[in-house]
Amino acid sequence: MQLKVNGVVHDVQVPDDMPVLWVLRDVLGLTGAKYGCGIAQCGACTVHVDGQAMRSCILPAASAAGKAIVTIEGLGPGLTAVQRAWIDVDVVQCGYCQPGQIMSAAALLRERPNPSDADIDRAMSGNICRCGTYPRIREAIHRAAALMKGGS
């Protein structure tokens, strides 16, 4: 089947039910999306599929064929406002969940360029951070919104 990832079309020989996460990681070598739970509980595997944040660990490859998949590696070009905000606010600790957090945040900001705390709660509730960086993630999303508007 053909999978379009970060703008590049790949021909992959994988079972239809193989989750996109494992195609990305074990076949295409894109390891930015992480495995955390395998049951769409933690959000570490979050990627964009046709612009929507989705949990790639339960998304069968066959159902993503022909759709535009974007991973953390393809979020740019360069550092996006979300990533810059993450650096400014010193969000990361172990960092393992952060690609997923950033992909969820980026999808939220595309939909709502000026998200409220309630919007953030809703959009980010599917992403677990065991290190406990939630207060900084919230701050960084607000900061990214400001950066995207050209503020500082």
Partner 1 sequence: MALGTDRRSFLKTSAAAASGLVIAFYVPRAGAQTPKPPALPDPNAFLRIGTDETVTILLAHSEMGQGIWTTLPMLVGEELSLDWTRVRVEHAPAAPAYAHVAFGMQATGGSTTTWSEFDRYRQVGALARELLVQVAAQRWGIPPAECRLDAGHVTDGSRRLSFGALAHDASQRPAPTAVTLKPAAEWTVIGKDRKRLDSPEKVTGKAQFGLDVRFPGLMVALVARAPVFGGTVRRFDDGPARAVPGVKAVVQVPSGVAVVAEHFWAARKGRDALKIEWDEGPGGTLDSTRLLQQFREMAKTDGVRAHAAGDAPAALKAAAKVLDLEYSGPYLSHSPMEPLNCTVRLSPGKCEVWTGTQFQTVDQAAAAEAAGLKPDQVEVHTPFLGGGFGRRANPAADFVREAVHVAKASGMPVKVVWTREDDTHGGYYRPQFLHRARIALGGDGLPAAWRHTIVCQSIIDGTPFAPVMIKDGVDDTSVEGAADSPYFRGTANHLAELHTPKLPVPVLWWRSVGHTHSAFAVESIVDELAHAAGIDPLEYRRRLLAKHPRHLGVLELAAERAGWKTAPPRGRFRGLAVHESFGSFAANVVEISVASNQIRVHRVVSAIDCGVVVNPAGVRAQMEGCAIFGITTALYSELTLRKGRVQQSNFNDYRMLRMPEAPQVEVHIVPSTERSGGVGEPGVPPIAPAIANALFRATGKRLRTLPLRLA
**Positions in the binding site for partner 1 (CB under 8 A):** 14-15, 18-19, 22, 25-27, 29-39, 41-42, 44, 71-73, 79, 83, 86-88, 90-99, 102, 120-122, 124-125, 127-138
CB of 75 to partner 1, least distance (A): 8
Cα(131)–Cα(148) distance, integer angstroms: 27
Residue type at position 107: A
| Beta pairing partners, 2 | 11
Q: Smallest gap, in angstroms, from Cβ of residue 142 to partner 1?
A: 13
Q: Smallest gap, in angstroms, from Cβ of residue 56 to partner 1?
A: 12
Min dist. Cβ of residue 20 to partner 1 (A): 11
Report d(CA 28, CA 47) in Å as an integer: 14
Q: 10 Å Cβ neighbour count for 91?
A: 26
Can you tell me which residue has the tokens 């066959």? 62
Task: Specify the residue, 53 or 91, whose C-beta has the smaller distance to partner 1.
Answer: 91
Residue whose CB is less far from partner 1, 54 or 83 = 83
Which contiguous run of DSSP H or E holds residue 121? helix 117-124
